[in-house]
Amino acid sequence: MSQKFFTNIVKVHADRGQVRRILQNPKHLLEWVSEIDSVVQDEQKFIITRKEHTFNHHETITVELKTNSIIYLSTEGKFKYRIIFTVNSEDDHSIIQEDVYLTQEDNAFLPLKLLKPIAKHAFNTNLNNLALLIEKIDNFKD
C-alpha cells in the first residue's frame, strides 16, 4: 500500500507544455538535480547514478505519462518512491505540484519520521532548480 509522504509546489513562468517536455525526459535530471552524476536510458527505464555520499546512490526510474501528470517510479534504490508531478496552467505561468509517495513494504526499515523533513527539503530544492531551469530555457527561446 502506498501513502503520500509529502507535497512540494512551485510556480514557474513558462507554459505547461514546456514544463511537461522537461519532465517527460529524465535525462534532464542532470540539469536540475545536482547530486546526479549520470542518467542512462535502458529501453523504457532510466538508470540513475548519484554522487557517492547520497542515500540512493543507484536507482532505476520509469516514467508514466498521464493527461495532467507525469509519474516517476523509483525502484532498485535504498529509498523506493513514486513522484506524481501535476502541472497546471494559471495566467502566464504554470504550477508544478510534486507529490511523493512511499510504500510501507519497500521502506519499512527506514526511520521515515526522521527522513521526512530532510527528504522534503531536498526534493523542494530540486523542484526549485527545475523551475529555474525551465525559466532559463523559456527565456532563451525569446
Give pLDDT tens digits along the chain (142 positions): 688 999 999 999 999 999 999 999 999 999 999 999 999 999 899 999 998 777 778 999 999 999 989 999 998 887 789 999 999 999 889 999 999 998 767 667 777 788 899 999 999 999 999 999 999 986 655 4
Q: What is the pTM of this model?
A: 0.91
Question: CATH number, domain at 103?
Answer: 3.30.530.20
> Residue 59: which domain range?
2-141
Look at the chain and report how many structural domains it folds into: 1
Residue pointed to by grid coordinates 505547461: 16
> How far is the C-alpha of 6 from the C-alpha of 18, rounded, in Å?
25
What pLDDT score does 107 carry?
65
